Amino acid sequence: MPTRAINPNLLGATLNYLEPKKKEFISVFYSRLFSSSIDIFNFIIVEKETDMQRLQEAYLDFLSQLVKLLQAHEYEKANAFVSNLGTVHFKMRVPIEYYDHFARLFIETLKGFMGPAWTPQMAEQWEISYRVIIHLMKKGYGL
């Protein structure tokens, strides 16, 4: 499933809406991720000793760059951008089985922050997007 399957406009609208509270949003997401899974906490914090400030910024940058590439119809670049991120994760030995939980929690956190501005169309687009992202990241694992 390629990035062409994603409609970037609703994703862009979500990110714009969150812009004023994006720092709070992304730190709430990772806190919820860590409290929902001790294995993910151990991997990111204990084993990799990740600088969370840096990861939070890099994660938000990744999403906005992906939306920009898709809005510019740069599908080949977008596919390569996401599968390269998969290769980065492969080299860090991020277990593939963590991805679905990660995506589910991310979308739930988005929904909570969007409140009444969240629509079924947004939910559908974010779900499709994460299916595409995970599929392409797995390609970066050679899978």
Q: Which residues bind ligand HEM (CB under 6 A)?
A: 40, 43-44, 48, 50, 54-55, 58-59, 62, 85, 88-89, 92, 94, 98-99, 102-103, 133-134
Angle between helices 8-18 and 120-139 (to 10 degrees): 110
Judged by beta carbon, residue 94 or residue 122, the one nearer ligand HEM is 94
Q: Which two tokens stand for residue 92?
A: 């860090």
For residue 30, give every residue at least 6 positions away whose Cβ sits within 8 Å of its Cβ, in sequence order, or none.
Answer: 52, 55, 56
Judged by beta carbon, residue 55 or residue 114, the one nearer ligand HEM is 55
Q: How far is the CB of 116 from ligand HEM (least distance, A)?
A: 26
Q: How far is the CB of 22 from ligand HEM (least distance, A)?
A: 14
Q: How far is the CB of 113 from ligand HEM (least distance, A)?
A: 17
Q: Which of 52, 62, 45, 46 is nearest to 27 (CA)?
A: 52
Judged by beta carbon, residue 5 or residue 58, the one nearer ligand HEM is 58
- Report the alpha-carbon distance of residue 125 to residue 135 in Å, rounded: 15
Judged by beta carbon, residue 81 or residue 118, the one nearer ligand HEM is 81
Per-position DSSP letters for 25-47, written without gaps between them? HHHHHHHHHHHH-HHHHIIIIII
Q: How far is the CB of 130 from ligand HEM (least distance, A)?
A: 6
